[in-house]
Structure 1
C-alpha cells in the first residue's frame, strides 16, 4: 500500500522518532549494498536474475551448465517475463544444447492469468527435452549444476520427450481447486531404456494422448500466498486430499494405439506440533486400467543423487520397481530439539532430530507383464513384497540445511547396490 493509505489507516500519527525510523529504513533500501544483497537473494530463491526495468528474468541459473552421460556438457539459457512486463500474461522459454548428443532442446509456455484473486488461469506449453522418468518431483530432481556435482550416476537413463499441452486452472472456492489438462507426448527410447516388443524387435518411439483432471480439496483454514502467476499453499492443520483421473485415448497420430485409464488419490498432512515435535504425512495410491507401455506405469520414484528429495526413495534406483496398482508414502517426524536441545554444547545451535520411514507396495497385472505392448526391462521388478526404507537425520543446520542417513530394510541388494546412503538438503521450518 502507498503512504497515503497508511496515513488514513493509522489511528494515531507517527511520532518524530517513529518517522525517523521509517525514513532511515527507506533510505537504507535505496543503498547499493541493500539492492545488491536483495538481488542476490532473490536470484537464488527464484532461480532467475530479474530485470524490473525490462520486465524479464533470465535463468534458471542453476541449469546454465550441467553434465550428464547422455548429453555430455550441456548449456542452457532461458527467460521468464515478470509482472512489470504484464500482469495478465507470462511467457517462459528455454534453449539448451548438449555437446555429446549434439541435439538442441527447447521449451516455451504462455500463461494467461484470467483472475488472480480467485484463480482462473490458462496455459499452453510445448517442450522437447530429456527427462528422467521415475524420479521425484523435488527441486533438485531435475538436471542442474548441484545434481551434476552430487549425482551417483550422471543421467544415462534419460528419455527424450516432446510434449504439447493445454491446461486450465479453476478455483471453485477457497477449499476446492481443479485443473483440467490435455497433453500429447512422443517418447523415444535409448540404449538403457529400450522399448522391447513382445514379438521381438525394438520400437524407436511411441505417442500418447491424454486428458486429465485434478481436484484439490483443503480446509478453510489453509493459508495461501497468491503470486501473479503462481499460487503457493503454505499451511493447514488439516489433511489435504488430491484426486486424479486420466484417460489415454487412441487417435490424433497414427502410432498411438493405447487406451487406458489412470486414477489416483493423495493425502498430505502437516501434523501439528505436540510435546515431542511435529510431522509430515504423505500417502499416494492409484491404479491403471488397460495395457500400457512400461514407461506409463507407476515407476516408483528413485533418487540417484546425494540430494534429499522427499518425493522419492533415497535407496531406490530409477526404473527399479513398477506397478499398475499401488500405494506408497512416507512419514517424517521432527522432534524439534527434544534431545539435542538439552545438550549444553549443542543447545545454542538449535538443531532438530529427524526420523523418516518410506513404504511402497504394488502389483502388476498380466496385462502389463507378458501381455504388455512394450515389455518391462530386465532390471525392473514388481513390489508384491513391500519396499521399506528408514532414515534418521539432523535438521536446522545453519537454519537451512539437513543431513539424513537412509537404510534399505527390504529388497536389500546383494550385488553392491544401494542399501545405505546419505542425503543433504535444504529445509526451512518456521
Structure 2
C-alpha cells in the first residue's frame, strides 16, 4: 500500500511537466527575408499563444495537445503548420504580403472608440517627444542592405547579366520563398555616437567604425557619412516624417482626423505594459500617409511600437512599398527614444526587362545619456568620421555588434564582395558614376567633366576639351584641378587651373587660387549657372548671346566659424573682351571703349541654422535645410587698383526656405535683393536671367528674354509650390495617373540710375546701332505666373507661364510652355 501511495504521489508531482512542449521559431517576410515583429502566434483551436519580438522570434511553452500552429499578422496571408509530438521543436514561418485593400468602417452609435485614444495620445505628445529633452546621447548600430530583386527572365537573358550569374554559380544563391534569386549589391555596418541638443536644435553623429562593401564603391569615406544613424531618424511625434525627401503625415499628427481612420483591434501586454492595439488607415489611399498598426500604452497614452506601411497606391513613383517598424523606450525623464527601427523600401521594375531594388535599413540604440548638452561649437559638422573609422576587422565587429548577423546576411557579405570584383560589374558601375558625376576616377585623379568634352556654337565652331581633378587618394589637403579646350573656328585655347589647400576639415577652411581664360555670355555666366547643368549646356550650344572672352584670376578663402556660419573672402581680377559689338562711355576721357578690367575684393557670410553638411572627399556638400531658412549676405568692392578701371560697390542679400504646408503640399521660396553703388558698364550690373529655351529652370524668369533687363538695384521673389497629390488625388480618373500639380509666381522689381544708362551708348563711333539693355520701371514689377503638371509618365513635367507685365517690349511672348525631365519619387 505504501508503494502504491508513493507511486501516486510521484505521478502527481510529474503531472505539471507531463506533455510540456516548447515551440520556438522565427517569422519572416517571404519576399524580403526580414523579421516580422509583433505577429500573433497561436496554437490552433486554443487561446495559447504569444507575439514575435522585434527580431521575429517567438517562444511558446504549453501542455496543450494542439496539432497545429497558426501565425497571423495584418497585411500578410496567415499560415498554419503542423506540430509534432516532440517536446522541443523549431517551426519557422515565411509570410507573404497580402493584397491589402482598405475597408470602410461604420459605427452605428457614438464615436469611434479609437478616436478618444488617439486624441489623448496627441494631447500627451509634449511629454514623450524626444525633442523635449535638453540633450541626449546614444550609442547606435546601423546596418544597410541593398538587393536587386524581381529579377525577370528577360533581365537574366542579357549577356552582361549572364556573365555575372555564371561567376556567382559557385556561391550559395539567395532566394525568396518562391525560389526567385536576390542579388545583393551593397551592405554596410556602422557604429556611432549620436548627439542631440535643444535650444537651438542641433544634431551630430560621430562615426567610430564603419564597414562598407558595395558594387561600385571605391572609397567609403562619403558613404560612411550617409549610412549612419543621422540619416535614418524617424520620429513619429513629429507631425511630418521625411522619407526620401517626401513628407508623410504621422498617425498621431495634430491634424490626424483629416488624414486617418482608426480601428481598435485589441488590448495586449508588451514588455509589462498594457497597450491598445490600433489599426490605422489613410482616408484617401493616394495620400502620403501610413497604413498598419500602432500600439499605445493604456496608462500614459505613449506610443509603444509601430508597424506601418506606405502602400503602393500612394502617390509615389517607382516605390511599391515603404515599411517602418519601430520600438520605443521611455527615458528617465519621460520622453521616448526609438530603441530599434527597421525600414524597408521596395522599388519596383521600371520596365518588364529591368529588375527591382530592395533597400533595408536597421538601427538600434543603447547607452542612453540624458541632459548633458555639448556646446554649440561641437555641432559645427553634422557627421564626423574618426581617423580610424575603417580599421575594424571581423573580430571587432563580432564583439561589438548589438545584434549578430544572420546566416543570410553573412551570405550577402560574401556575394557582394565577389560581385564587386567581376570586370563587367566594375565596368557598368564606373560608367554610371561617370555619367552621374561627370568624372571618371583613374588612380589618384578623376578625368572629366564629360559635358566639357564636346561643344558646338557659332563663335567657337567645334570645341573639344579635357580636364582632371585630384581625389582623396592623391591628398586630403590639396585639390588640383585643370581643364583645357580648343575651338576650331576661333582658334583660341581656353583653360582653367586651380589649386586648393584644405587647412581644416573639421571647421571647413580652404584657400584656393584659380586662373581662367574662357568664353562667357552676359547674363549667362558659368559661375552663376553651375547648379543648372542642363540649362547651361542648352544655352552654350548654337548661337551665343553677347559672348565675351574673360581672363580672370581669383584668390578665395572660406571658413566655417560655427555650426552653419560660413565666412568667405577673396580677391578677383577680370578682363572683359567682347566678341560682339559693345561699347561703353568712359566718363573721364569722354571716349568710347570696348574692353575693360575689374578688380574686386569680396566678403560674404552664409548662415543655415539646421543645414545638413557632409564632406564629400575634398568638397563640402549641402543636403539643404530642414526647417529654417538659409541666408547669404555678400559685399563686393570694385577698385581702380592693379589695373581695375572702375570704383564701385555691390551689396546683395539672398534667402531660401522650404515650407511644409501639410496637406496642401510643399513650397519653396527664394528672395534675392541687391544694389550696385557707382557708375559701371551694363555687363557689371545685375543682368537678370531670362529663358528663351524650351527647358524649364527655376533659376530664371521663364517668359523673360535673354538680356532683356538689367538693374543696379533690384528685389525679386521666386515662389514655387508643389501640391503633391492634393486636389488631383480626389479626381477619380486623374488620380490613377498620379499626376501632381505645381504652381509658380515670379516677381521682380528693379531700376537703373541715369548715370549708368548714360554709360551704354545706343550707337557706336561709326553711327551703327548698338544693343544695350532693357530697364524696369521702378513702379511696375515684372510678373509671371505659372502652373503645370509633373509626374507625367513618372518622368516629365510641363509648365505653362503667363507674362503679366511689360507685354509691349520687342519679341515678347506673353505665354510660354516649358518642359523638363526629372526623377522624383
* TM-score over 0.5 for the pair: yes
1:203/1:246 CA distance change after superposition, 3 Å: same
1:87/1:397 CA distance change after superposition, 3 Å: farther
Deviation digits for residues 69-112 of structure 1, max 9, x if unmatched? 22222222111121122221111111111222121111111111
Residue among 583, 589, 594 paired with 1:204: 594
Which is bigger in relative contact order (C-alpha 8 A, separation at least 6)?
Answer: 1
Q: 2:463 & 2:535 partners in 1: Cα distance?
A: 13
Does structure 2 retain, via aligned residues, the 8 Å contact 1:413–1:419? no
Does residue 47 (structure 1) correspond to residue 435 (structure 2)? The answer is no
Task: Provide the residue aligned with 1:124 in structure 2.
Answer: 513
Deviation digits for residues 321-342 of structure 1, max 9, x if unmatched? 1111110120000001224444
Residue among 180, 188, 193 paired with 2:569: 180
Task: Provide the residue aligned with 1:72 in structure 2.
Answer: 461
Q: 1:429 & 1:229 partners in 2: Cα distance?
A: 28
- Aligned-residue offset at 1:426: 4.7
Q: 2:792 & 2:583 partners in 1: Cα distance?
A: 43
**Which of the pair has more CA radius of gyration?**
2
Question: Which piece of structure 1 moves more, 358-367 or 409-418?
Answer: 409-418
1:79/1:17 CA distance change after superposition, 3 Å: same
- Aligned-residue offset at 1:418: 3.1
1:34/1:394 CA distance change after superposition, 3 Å: farther
Q: 2:820 & 2:571 partners in 1: Cα distance?
A: 34
Helix, strand or coil: the match of 1:13?
coil
Does residue 96 (structure 1) correspond to residue 485 (structure 2)? The answer is yes
Return the TM-score normalized by structure 1: 0.89
Does residue 301 (structure 1) correspond to residue 692 (structure 2)? The answer is no
Unaligned regions of 5+ residues in structure 1, if any? none
* Cα-Cα RMSD: 2.5
1:90/1:193 CA distance change after superposition, 3 Å: same
- Aligned-residue offset at 1:50: 2.1
Residue among 603, 614, 624 paired with 1:213: 603
- Aligned-residue offset at 1:344: 5.6
1:335/1:24 CA distance change after superposition, 3 Å: same
Task: Provide the residue aligned with 2:812 in structure 1.
Answer: 417
Task: Provide the residue aligned with 1:246 in structure 2.
Answer: 636
Q: 2:534 & 2:435 partners in 1: Cα distance?
A: 17
Return the TM-score normalized by structure 2: 0.48
Does structure 2 retain, via aligned residues, the 8 Å contact 1:320–1:379? no
Does residue 140 (structure 1) correspond to residue 529 (structure 2)? The answer is no
Task: Provide the residue aligned with 2:775 in structure 1.
Answer: 382
Residue among 791, 798, 820 paired with 1:403: 798
Q: 1:169 & 1:414 partners in 2: Cα distance?
A: 43
The alignment covers a number of residue pairs equal to: 419
- Aligned-residue offset at 1:242: 0.5
Residue among 655, 658, 668 paired with 1:270: 658
- Aligned-residue offset at 1:247: 0.6
Residue among 736, 739, 743 paired with 1:355: 743
Q: 2:445 & 2:409 partners in 1: Cα distance?
A: 37
Which runs of structure 2 are paired with 1:318-329 in the superposition (5 Å)? 318-329=706-717
Task: Provide the residue aligned with 2:419 in structure 1.
Answer: 28
- Aligned-residue offset at 1:168: 0.7
- Aligned-residue offset at 1:402: 3.0
Task: Provide the residue aligned with 1:170 in structure 2.
Answer: 559
Unaligned regions of 5+ residues in structure 2, if any? 1-209, 212-391, 763-769
Which runs of structure 2 are paired with 1:311-322 in the superposition (5 Å)? 311-322=699-710
Task: Provide the residue aligned with 1:232 in structure 2.
Answer: 621
Does structure 1 retain, via aligned residues, the 8 Å contact 2:574–2:598? yes
Task: Provide the residue aligned with 1:13 in structure 2.
Answer: 404
Does structure 2 retain, via aligned residues, the 8 Å contact 1:168–1:180? yes
Q: 1:157 & 1:9 partners in 2: Cα distance?
A: 63
- Aligned-residue offset at 1:249: 0.8
Task: Provide the residue aligned with 2:646 in structure 1.
Answer: 258
1:409/1:297 CA distance change after superposition, 3 Å: same
Question: Which piece of structure 1 moves more, 184-193 or 342-351?
Answer: 342-351
Does structure 2 retain, via aligned residues, the 8 Å contact 1:292–1:368? yes
1:122/1:141 CA distance change after superposition, 3 Å: farther
1:34/1:398 CA distance change after superposition, 3 Å: farther
Task: Provide the residue aligned with 2:788 in structure 1.
Answer: 393
Helix, strand or coil: the match of 2:533?
coil
Does structure 1 retain, via aligned residues, the 8 Å contact 2:714–2:751? yes
Residue among 433, 446, 471 paired with 1:57: 446
Helix, strand or coil: the match of 1:19?
helix
1:147/1:81 CA distance change after superposition, 3 Å: same
Deviation digits for residues 372-395 of structure 1, max 9, x if unmatched? 3x5476441211221111222233
Task: Provide the residue aligned with 2:669 in structure 1.
Answer: 281
